[in-house]
Amino acid sequence: MTRYEDDEFALLRENADEAGIPWGGQPTVRRVSTDVGGGQKASALLWGDEPPKVVFLHGGAQNAHTWDTVILALGLPALAVDLPGHGHSDWRADRDYMAWRAAEAVDPVLRAWAPVADAVVGMSLGGLTTIRLTAIAPDLVRRGVIVDVTPSVGLRQPSMTRAERGTTALVEGPASFATFEEIVKLTAAAAPHRPLSNIRRGVLHNTRRRPDGRWEWRYDRLSGGDGFATLWEDVSAAKVPLTLVRGGASIFTADEDAEEFVRRSPSAQVHVVPGAGHSVQSDSPLPLAAIIREALARS
């Protein structure tokens, strides 16, 4: 793990090789920070030397590195944001990390680093945040790609089994662990279809070692809000092209949710990625990259 601790981008070639993406050399990518108010800072990964064409917002209990393989596949300048309370971004004292607060924090990040991006891609919590951004910052969202979530997700989760929730169920488990391998084992059990190299890399990006030697997640426990249903009004009001991507093996978005999405945004396109779970970007990064390219081509 020393190589990663010295350089968080040292594993990108492993991402490329695992997905079969031709390796043209280490890409230009660096970490940037933005003051988002209230003494808080948000961190993000800035890919490329040109202004970002695509912005990526991850799901709850994830971080910006979840998009590494998708961004490598696209080969476009991009900005991947660590949402508040995640990755290298600051934690909030009130622990309110829901879409409304997240969108307020993401707004200044996009204005600083990606004011003319062609699309915002958000998965799960990041997808709900993208929906909210269409309402509070429509000038920053020219196209929206929403990955495996709708404002009805709060109705789906209570009835899901732990297996159906996959890695999202880990947020209800221990907050710290004696060893790194203990976390890898738990994560692999929650996502048995992913290669172990994928699991280890994800855990490396999403954990940190404490001064006492124990390992902990690199995210705060989520809190705030009683549901997301009011975000349906933002879907209805959105004036930009929207794309909804569903994981074919995920039940986070039901058929009726997708139908409601299209009813409220008649021009929206819906794609299903066969075999992908809730984290489509981890399970099927190349098909997702192809869908994003298609969305970018929409007028």
Decide if 58 is catalytic. Answer: no
The answer to whether 65 is a known catalytic residue is no
Q: Hey, CA dihedral for 257, 261, 263, 268, is it positive or negative?
A: negative
- Specify the residue for token string 């990390």: 97
Cα–Cα distance between 37 and 14 in angstroms, integer? Answer: 36
- Out of 148, 234, 257, 283, the active site residue is 148
Q: Of 21, 83, 68, 129, nearest to 282 (Cα)?
A: 68
Instruction: List the alpha helices (DSSP H) in 54-169.
Output: 68-74, 99-113, 125-136, 153-156, 162-165
- 181 neighbors 160 (Cβ within 8 angstroms): no
Q: By the 8 A CB rule, do 113 and 44 touch?
A: yes
Cα(117)–Cα(217) distance, integer angstroms: 31
CB count in 10 Å sphere of residue 70 = 28
Amino acid at 53: K
Q: Report how far residue 146's alpha carbon sits from residue 148's, in angstroms, rounded to the nearest whole number.
A: 7
User: For residues 54 and 31, is the Cβ–Cβ distance under 8 A?
Assistant: no
Which one of 124, 152, 250, 279 is the catalytic residue?
124
Q: Tokens 């043209």 sit at which residue?
A: 24
152 catalytic per annotation: no
Residue tagged active-site, from 58, 65, 86, 278: 278
Short-list 93, 96, 69, CA closest to 80:
69
Backbone angles phi, psi at 189, to 5 degrees: -65, -30
The CA–CA distances, whole Å, from 41 to 81, 85, 99 equal: 12, 10, 17
Residues assigned a catalytic role:
124, 148, 278
